[in-house]
Amino acid sequence: MKARQSIYLVCLLAFINGCATSGSVNDKDTDKPISNEFQKQSLLGILYTQTSTEFVANNIQTFAAASSYLDQAISDQDWTAALEQTDNYNEKPPAIILDVDETVLDNSAFQARTVIKGLSYPNGWIDWGNEASAPAVAGVTNFLQEAQLKGVKVFYVTNRVAELEEATRKNLKDLELPLDEDRDVLMMKGESGWASDKTSRRALIAKDYRIIMIVGDQLSDFLSRPETALAPEERKMLAFKYRNMWGSKWFMITNPMYGGWEASIYDFKYPDDENTATKLRLENLQP
Ligand SMILES: [Mg+2]
């Protein structure tokens, strides 16, 4: 009986732990262990996004490159940026798909709080989202306003939970970013049964539009999640596999704070304890 009770206790603790650490609220999927010291390991990545001119210049450069391809992408009816777009797309009106977090909206202030408070994502994430005060990533506003003027439909495909839809809408509108209301252009995770994998949402857009560009900060903003779930060295090969897409059809924003690159270090299973996570981080250094 005692053994059985112990098993129940272990199961209960595992369940509670699962509740506490699962349920990715956006595309971070970072169920990190929590401690001030562990959170501080993110410090330089966050400072890079918040204090470096290099980061700002890189983002301006990325969106300038996207702008420079707009006319060609619009006029060339064979041009498509979506792997989900397979046939009969030439006559369809052009659209652009962007991820939201760290692609359009800069959440580095939330990340900074995690270091200061020693509380990792998802703690405080919904509160931050509801503040609707994230600034725009440098360069994105001009790019999207230009695209809209040229008749390109702008879609946001995000793994923010549906609960944050209204706040996200407000945040985007306050920043004067295009947000059409004639159809659902802000596609949240959990809305209409959409899961983390963005493939089905891209396919849905591809039914009515020719997707001419995709912008994101994660490989899974462009590819299916299973395709990107690889160990770091194998995963890097995907950058070369799709070399013809980058810089004209696909545009990647640098995110040194979190993401699939980190999950890859843990074989896509975030460790339950920070010592294991730190050990895996160290083991992945290449001296
Ligand atoms: Mg993102």
Segments of the chain with pLDDT less than 50: 1-30
Biggest alpha carbon–alpha carbon distance for the chain = 73
Nearest alpha carbon to residue 255 among 144, 104, 66: 104
Q: Crossing angle for the helix pair 53-75 and 140-149, nearest 10 degrees? A: 10
Q: In terms of C-beta density within 10 A (0-12 exposed, 13-18 middle, 19 or more buried), how is residue 283 classed?
A: exposed
For residue 227, the model assigns a pLDDT of: 97
> Computed from CA positions of residues 26, 31, 35, 40, in that sequence, does the dihedral angle turn out positive or negative?
negative
The two three-digit tokens of residue 178, written as one number: 């295009």
Task: Tell me how far the alpha carbon of residue 175 lies from the centroid of ligand 1, in angstroms.
Answer: 18
Residue type, 213: M
**C-beta contacts of 126-130 below 8 A and 24+ residues apart:** 126/25, 126/161, 126/163, 126/164, 129/25, 129/160, 129/164, 129/167, 129/168, 130/164, 130/167
Task: Kindly state whether residue 38 falls inside one of the protein's structural domains.
Answer: yes
Task: Tell me how far the alpha carbon of residue 269 lies from the centroid of ligand 1, in angstroms.
Answer: 19
For residue 26, the model assigns a pLDDT of: 34
Task: Kindly state whether residue 18 falls inside one of the protein's structural domains.
Answer: no
Task: Tell me how far the alpha carbon of residue 13 lies from the centroid of ligand 1, in angstroms.
Answer: 31
Task: Tell me how far the alpha carbon of residue 104 lies from the centroid of ligand 1, in angstroms.
Answer: 8
Task: Tell me how far the alpha carbon of residue 260 lies from the centroid of ligand 1, in angstroms.
Answer: 10
The two three-digit tokens of residue 216, written as one number: 């994101």
Task: Tell me how far the alpha carbon of residue 101 lies from the centroid of ligand 1, in angstroms.
Answer: 4
Task: Tell me how far the alpha carbon of residue 128 lies from the centroid of ligand 1, in angstroms.
Answer: 15
For residue 64, the model assigns a pLDDT of: 98
Number of structural domains the chain divides into: 1
For residue 15, the model assigns a pLDDT of: 29
For residue 120, the model assigns a pLDDT of: 86
Task: Tell me how far the alpha carbon of residue 76 lies from the centroid of ligand 1, in angstroms.
Answer: 28
Task: Tell me how far the alpha carbon of residue 12 lies from the centroid of ligand 1, in angstroms.
Answer: 33
Residue 5: C-alpha distances to residues 10, 44, 94 (Å)? 9, 45, 60
Give the CATH number, domain containing residue 68. Answer: 3.40.50.1000
C-alpha span between 196 and 117 (Å, rounded) = 28
Task: Tell me how far the alpha carbon of residue 280 lies from the centroid of ligand 1, in angstroms.
Answer: 23
Task: Tell me how far the alpha carbon of residue 218 lies from the centroid of ligand 1, in angstroms.
Answer: 6
Task: Tell me how far the alpha carbon of residue 79 lies from the centroid of ligand 1, in angstroms.
Answer: 24
Residue with tokens 């659902």: 184
Q: Could you give phi then psi for residue 188, rounded to 5 degrees? A: -90, 160
**C-beta contacts of 35-39 below 8 A and 24+ residues apart:** 35/118, 35/274, 36/118, 37/274, 38/120, 38/274, 38/277, 38/278, 39/114, 39/115, 39/118, 39/119, 39/120
Task: Tell me how far the alpha carbon of residue 217 lies from the centroid of ligand 1, in angstroms.
Answer: 5
Task: Kindly state whether residue 146 falls inside one of the protein's structural domains.
Answer: yes
Task: Tell me how far the alpha carbon of residue 9 lies from the centroid of ligand 1, in angstroms.
Answer: 37
Residue with tokens 């999640």: 225
Task: Tell me how far the alpha carbon of residue 107 lies from the centroid of ligand 1, in angstroms.
Answer: 10
Task: Tell me how far the alpha carbon of residue 247 lies from the centroid of ligand 1, in angstroms.
Answer: 18
HSE, side-chain direction, 13 A CA sphere, residue 44 = 1
Task: Kindly state whether residue 219 falls inside one of the protein's structural domains.
Answer: yes
Please give the distance of CA 225 from its chain centroid, rounded to a whole number.
12
For residue 35, the model assigns a pLDDT of: 78
Provide the residue count of the chain. Answer: 287
Q: Which domain holds residue 96?
A: 26-283
For residue 37, the model assigns a pLDDT of: 87
For residue 194, the model assigns a pLDDT of: 96
Task: Tell me how far the alpha carbon of residue 181 lies from the centroid of ligand 1, in angstroms.
Answer: 23
C-alpha span between 94 and 149 (Å, rounded) = 12
C-alpha span between 270 and 287 (Å, rounded) = 24
